């Protein structure tokens, strides 16, 4: 089966590399010349653990190819995955320009019966719009599928190779059997392929992200309340997470969710709902709570340091989560803007996202080569991303380097009592008033 993946961002690249890994001939097509040119030389545009090995191996073995010739890639395909971006429009809805543009091209350039798979996260009804756009030019029969992607950046290869489940919306037996065959190598341990109708598959992706975002905002608000009433959110988290009806995942409070998916998908679902005259009150609040949470770290810093004007602040962690260099909607960006607006100076460190941060913020902040370099002359340290290397630092060195021993920890990495005993003025999320 010849596979073409259109769009080689986080999703397209992972999908293409993993389908090639199981033996399929795959062409990844993208309009970004520089990206394709780099990928052809095994230079990845993103940081994703393990992905470089997959790309290099499958490219060298001739199963994976990168091209800017989207038309040619479509003409060669039996199955086309659409994995282009669906950024938020001004009103919060998903911008489908790229998806529908690709659909037009598919209609024009398909050269045989085709299975067309929407991998991008798209609102209910999009597969029907794609089908209409393809139909305008199509000379061959085609079969629509909605196959939402649930990979997590930072663990994308594992998530794709060993998914919890695969959700596939189909309308024809042909599409069902092609997709079952394609995914068979990934579900050998008995994880389910859940076939359903297309609108339900499209909705499943939004419902999953909205549920996860809701858990985060819920726990952030519980954590904020814990601070007020003298409870410790770590205990509360364990106390509720052991309830099998609740489960322990996604209960960690923090500086607010970011990334390319939760913020945009929550907005798009809220927008879809309001267009249907069915306001989603819970999700509207989830978004508001998240926006407020992103301002908690600068507020905590002000509580500890007072006026931030003229202060120098070290920031550890810039990416929206560990093991990625993705900065989209990262909490660090809100914190940094707050600090700069207050007249503070910022020196930042991140193991992999410095390049991307420099591209966004340029010389508005300073960049340190190591986490400890960032502390030189700083009045306080703020931790935004829970990279492993920040988990067990040399506390004596931190204390000796900072001008004042102030640490604001947005990820609850350290023990509050230990930090107090070491003489730090330490604030975290939901674990009582700073010592």
Ligand X SMILES: NC(=O)c1ccc[n+]([C@@H]2O[C@H](COP(=O)([O-])OP(=O)(O)OC[C@H]3O[C@@H](n4cnc5c(N)ncnc54)[C@H](O)[C@@H]3O)[C@@H](O)[C@H]2O)c1
Q: Is 80:138 a contact under the CB 8 Å cutoff?
A: no
DSSP calls for 316-371: E--SSSTT----TT-HHHHHHHHHHHTT-EEEEE-SS-HHHHHHHHGGGSEE-SST
Please report whether residue 406 would count as binding ligand X according to CB under 6 A: no
Nearer to ligand X, 385 or 428 (CB): 385
Provide, rounded to whole angstroms, the least separation between the CB of residue 326 and ligand X.
Answer: 7
Among 93, 120, 214, 416, interactor with ligand X by CB under 6 A: 120
The CA distance from 322 to 315, in Å, is 14
Please report whether residue 323 would count as binding ligand X according to CB under 6 A: no
The tokens describing 408, both together, are: 């604001």
The tokens describing 272, both together, are: 């879809």
Nearer to ligand X, 12 or 393 (CB): 12
The CA distance from 49 to 55, in Å, is 12
The residue to which tokens 């306080």 are assigned: 380
Among 12, 169, 405, 430, interactor with ligand X by CB under 6 A: 12
Please report whether residue 30 would count as binding ligand X according to CB under 6 A: yes
Any idea what DSSP says for residue 140? S
Nearer to ligand X, 21 or 338 (CB): 21
Please report whether residue 412 would count as binding ligand X according to CB under 6 A: no
Closest residue by Cα to residue 328 from 153, 83, 118, 123:
153
Please report whether residue 24 would count as binding ligand X according to CB under 6 A: no
Neighbouring C-beta atoms of residue 41, cutoff 10 Å: 9
Closest residue by Cα to residue 156 from 30, 331, 324, 387:
324
Provide, rounded to whole angstroms, the least separation between the CB of residue 12 and ligand X.
Answer: 6
Please report whether residue 407 would count as binding ligand X according to CB under 6 A: no
Nearer to ligand X, 123 or 254 (CB): 123
Site for ligand X in 242-281 (CB under 6 A): 260-261
Neighbouring C-beta atoms of residue 311, cutoff 10 Å: 22
Site string for ligand X, 188-217 (x = CB under 6 A): ------------------------------
Please report whether residue 29 would count as binding ligand X according to CB under 6 A: yes
Among 35, 143, 321, 411, interactor with ligand X by CB under 6 A: 35
Cα→Cα distances 198→58, 172, 264, 277, Å: 31, 11, 21, 22
Walk across the sheet containing 312-316 and list its strands. 366-367, 345-349, 312-316, 380-383, 406-409, 425-427
Please report whether residue 8 would count as binding ligand X according to CB under 6 A: yes
261 carries an active-site annotation: yes
188-199: buried (b, 16+ CB within 10 Å) or exposed (e) per residue? eeeeebebeebb
Residues forming beta bridges with residue 409, ordered by sequence position: 383
The residue to which tokens 């508001």 are assigned: 288
The tokens describing 278, both together, are: 């069915």
Site string for ligand X, 37-76 (x = CB under 6 A): ---------------------------------x------
Q: Which stretch in 17-25, 31-39, 131-139, 237-245 sits in contact with ligand X by CB under 6 A? A: 31-39
The tokens describing 178, both together, are: 């092609």
Please report whether residue 320 would count as binding ligand X according to CB under 6 A: no
Provide, rounded to whole angstroms, the least separation between the CB of residue 243 and ligand X.
Answer: 28
Among 3, 4, 5, 11, interactor with ligand X by CB under 6 A: 11
Site for ligand X in 77-106 (CB under 6 A): 83-86, 98, 101-102
Nearer to ligand X, 151 or 344 (CB): 151
Out of 18, 145, 261, 276, the active site residue is 261
Neighbouring C-beta atoms of residue 90, cutoff 10 Å: 6
Site string for ligand X, 122-161 (x = CB under 6 A): ---------------------------x-x-x--------
Q: Which stretch in 26-34, 53-61, 190-198, 393-401 sits in contact with ligand X by CB under 6 A? A: 26-34
Provide, rounded to whole angstroms, the least separation between the CB of residue 182 and ligand X.
Answer: 18
Nearer to ligand X, 318 or 383 (CB): 318
Please report whether residue 121 would count as binding ligand X according to CB under 6 A: yes
Please report whether residue 32 would count as binding ligand X according to CB under 6 A: yes
Nearer to ligand X, 101 or 241 (CB): 101
The tokens describing 259, both together, are: 């990334």
Cα→Cα distances 373→68, 316, 323, 367, 400, Å: 42, 11, 21, 9, 12
Residues designated as active site: 261
**Contact residues for ligand X (CB under 6 A)?**
6-12, 29-32, 35, 70, 83-86, 98, 101-102, 120-121, 149, 151, 153, 260-261
């Amino acid at each position: 089966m010849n596979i073409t993946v259109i769009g080689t961002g986080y999703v397209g690249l992972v999908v293409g590399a993993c389908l090639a890994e199981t033996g399929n001939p795959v062409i990844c097509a993208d309009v970004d010349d520089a990206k394709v040119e780099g990928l052809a030389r095994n230079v990845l545009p993103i940081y994703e653990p393990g992905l470089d090995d997959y790309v290099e191996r499958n490219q060298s073995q001739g199963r994976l190819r990168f091209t800017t010739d989207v038309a040619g890639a479509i003409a060669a395909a039996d199955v086309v995955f659409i994995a282009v971006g669906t950024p938020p429009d001004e009103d919060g809805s998903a911008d489908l320009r790229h998806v529908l543009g690709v659909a037009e091209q598919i209609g024009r350039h398909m050269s045989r019966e085709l299975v067309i798979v929407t991998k991008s996260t798209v609102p209910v009804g999009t597969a029907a719009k794609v089908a209409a756009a393809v139909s305008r030019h199509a000379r061959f029969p085609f079969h629509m599928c909605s196959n939402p992607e649930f990979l997590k950046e930072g663990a994308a290869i594992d998530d794709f190779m060993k998914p919890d489940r695969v959700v596939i919306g189909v309308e024809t037996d042909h599409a069902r059997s092609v997709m079952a065959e394609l995914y068979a190598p990934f579900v050998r341990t008995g994880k389910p392929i859940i076939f359903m109708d297309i609108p339900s598959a499209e909705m499943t992706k939004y419902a999953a992200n909205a549920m996860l975002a809701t858990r985060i905002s819920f726990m952030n608000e519980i954590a904020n309340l814990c601070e007020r009433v003298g409870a410790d959110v770590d205990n509360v988290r364990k106390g509720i997470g052991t309830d099998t009806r609740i489960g322990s995942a996604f209960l960690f409070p923090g500086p607010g969710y970011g990334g390319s998916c939760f913020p945009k998908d929550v907005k798009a679902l809220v927008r879809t709902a309001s267009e249907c005259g069915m306001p989603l009150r819970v999700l509207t609040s989830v978004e508001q709570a998240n926006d407020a949470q992103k301002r908690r770290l600068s507020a905590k810093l002000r509580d500890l340091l007072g006026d931030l004007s003229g202060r120098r602040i070290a920031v550890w962690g810039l990416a929206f989560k560990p093991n990625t260099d993705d900065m989209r909607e990262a909490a660090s960006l809100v914190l940094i803007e707050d600090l700069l607006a207050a007249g503070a100076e910022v020196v930042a460190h991140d193991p992999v996202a410095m390049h991307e941060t420099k591209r966004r913020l340029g010389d508005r902040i300073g960049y340190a080569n190591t986490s400890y370099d960032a502390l030189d002359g700083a009045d306080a340290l703020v931790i935004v991303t829970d990279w492993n290397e920040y988990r067990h630092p040399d506390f004596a060195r931190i204390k000796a380097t900072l001008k004042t021993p102030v640490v604001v920890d947005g990820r609850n990495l350290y023990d509050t009592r230990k930090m107090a005993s070491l003489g730090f003025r330490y604030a975290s999320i939901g674990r009582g008033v700073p010592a």
